[in-house]
Amino acid sequence: MAAADPRPLVVHVLHRFDTGGLENGVVNLINSMPAYRHAVLALTEITAFKGRVTAAGTQFIALNKQPGQGFWLYRRMYQVLRELRPAVVHTRNLGALEFVLPAWAARVPLRLHGEHGYDISDPDGQAKGPQWWRRLLAPFVHGFVALSKDLQSYLTERVGIAPARVHQLYNGVDTDRFHAVREGEQPPADWPWTPGKHLVIGSVGRMHPIKDPLNLVEAFIQLMQRAPELKQRTRLVMLGGGSLHGTACQRLEQAGLAELAWLPGDRSDVAQAMQWFDIYALPSRAEGISNTVLEAMACARPIVATAVGGTPELLQDRVSGLLVPPSDAAALSAALEQLLQHPEQATALAQAALARVHEKFSLRGMVDAYQALYDGSLRR
C-alpha cells in the first residue's frame, strides 16, 4: 500500500473555474508550487479550463451552486472539507467569502481570503453592502491577500481590516510561456493578418461590462474615422467570449469595419497570438492586477490601458505604457493613434515594460511570496 502524500493541502475556493485572470493566477500557483498539494473547489462549475492544470494529483470539485445566497451549500462544503482535511482554505473574491464559515466550522487550520478585483456591480469599491459583508466575515479569516495596493487600501481603509492582517502580493507572469516572437515562430494557423504588412491592435479578456470591450470597439471606430489612411494597415483583434461578444461584432458591422476586425471568441493559444499584436489595449472599467497586461509586458508589446485599480502599479504612464481614463473612447483612440504614428515611442515603451516585468512581476517571485505566506501563517 502506497504511503499517503505528506504535503499539506490547499483548497482554492472560487465562484467558477473558467477562463479568466483570477483563474489563470490559480493555475500558475498550482502548477508552480509542488511543496503543497492542491484542490480547486468551484461553487458553481468546473469547465474545460481545468486542462491548464498540469500538477499531478490536483482535485477538482464543483458544488453546482444556483444563483442566490449559498447558505444551503454550507453543509455540503463542511462535509467536503472534513473529508479532505486541508491545511489551508483560500477563498477568492466576494462571491466565495461566505464559505469561510464552513471552513471555520470544519476547523481548517489556516483560512485566507484573496481580493482580486472589484465586483461588476461595484467597480470602484464604494458600495457599503460589500464592505459590511467583508467586515462581518473578517473574524473567521486569518489573513487577507490583496493583489494590488489599491485593493490593500480598500480593505484597510474602507472595510476596516487591521493592516497587519492584509498581505499585498502581486501576480506574476510566466515569461517562459509569454515572450516576444523568436526566430522561426509563426502566428496561429488561422491568424487572418500578415505580419509586417498589418498593424494589429489586440486585446484579451472576457466580453463582459466590467472589461468594457465596447470601449475599445468605439475607440477603433473613432480611430478609423479620424485617420482613414490607417485603414490600409491597421487591424483589430479581440480574443475572448462573453455576453457582449455579439454586440461588439454588430457594432463593427454597423460601422462598416467588420472586415478589419477579428473576434474569434475564447482561445487556448493566447500566448502565441499575443506575440503578434503590435499594440496591446486594455479598456476595462475596473481591474485588480491584470494578468493580460503582465502577459503583454512579457511579450514586449507597447500597451495602452485604462488607469483603473492596480494597472497604474504595473505601468508607469509614458514610461512603460500609456494610461487613459476609463469609459473614454476618445482618449483611448487618441493614445492608440499616437503609438501607431510614432513607432519609436511604441518600441521604447515596450522595452521598458519588458524590463519592468522581469524585475518586479516574475512568476517565481509570486509563487515564493505565496509559499512564504502559507508556510509562515501555518507555523504561527
* Half-sphere exposure of residue 111: CA atoms within 13 angstroms, side-chain side: 20
Whole-number Å distance between alpha carbons of 249 and 240: 12
Give me the DSSP letters along 297-318: HHTT--EEEE--TTHHHH--BT
Model confidence at 1, pLDDT cuts 50, 70, 90, reads: very low
Q: Which residues contact 97 (CB under 8 A, 6 or more apart)?
A: 91, 113, 133, 134, 137, 141
Q: pLDDT tens across 16-70, in order?
A: 999 888 999 999 999 999 999 999 999 999 999 999 999 999 999 999 988 876 7
Q: pLDDT tens across 205-224, in order?
A: 999 999 999 999 999 999 99
Domain parsing of the chain, residue ranges: 9-172+362-379, 199-360
Instruction: Tell me what percent of the chain is helix, strand and coil, each rounded to the nearest 5.
Output: 45, 20, 35
Does the pLDDT of residue 120 top 50, yes or no?
yes
Q: Identify residue 179 by its one-letter amino acid code.
A: H
Among candidate residues 373, 309, 321, 372, the one with its CA nearest the CA of residue 347: 321
Predicted local confidence at residue 192, as pLDDT: 97
Whole-number Å distance between alpha carbons of 277 and 180: 10
Name 100's bridge partners: none
- What is 199-360's CATH superfamily? Glycogen Phosphorylase B; (3.40.50.2000)
Q: Which residues contact 21 (CB under 8 A, 6 or more apart)?
A: 116, 117, 171, 288, 290, 291, 292
Integer-rounded Cα Rg, in Å, for the chain is 21
Cell readout for 178 is 509569454
Predicted local confidence at residue 293, as pLDDT: 97
Predicted local confidence at residue 68, as pLDDT: 74
Which 8-state DSSP code applies to residue 362?
B
Q: pLDDT tens across 306-357, in order?
A: 999 999 999 999 999 999 999 999 999 999 999 999 999 999 999 999 999 9
Whole-number Å distance between alpha carbons of 90 and 94: 12
Q: To which residue does cell 499594440 refer?
A: 279
- Please answer whether residues 133 and 164 qualify as being in contact, where contact means their C-beta atoms are separated by less than 8 angstroms: no
* Half-sphere exposure of residue 52: CA atoms within 13 angstroms, side-chain side: 25
Does the pLDDT of residue 294 top 50, yes or no?
yes
Does the pLDDT of residue 259 top 60, yes or no?
yes
Mean pLDDT of 180-191: 96
The backbone torsions φ and ψ at residue 236, rounded to the nearest 5 degrees and listed phi first, read -120, 130
CA-to-CA separations, 134 to 70, 111, 114, 160, 223, in angstroms, rounded: 15, 14, 11, 9, 42
pTM, rounded to two decimals = 0.90
Among candidate residues 95, 90, 50, the one with its CA nearest the CA of residue 70: 95
Predicted local confidence at residue 77, as pLDDT: 96
Give the DSSP H/E element, type plus range, for residue 113. strand 110-115
For the chain, give the percent of residues with pLDDT over 70. Answer: 99
Is CATH 3.40.50.2000 correct for 9-172+362-379?
Answer: yes
Predicted local confidence at residue 3, as pLDDT: 63
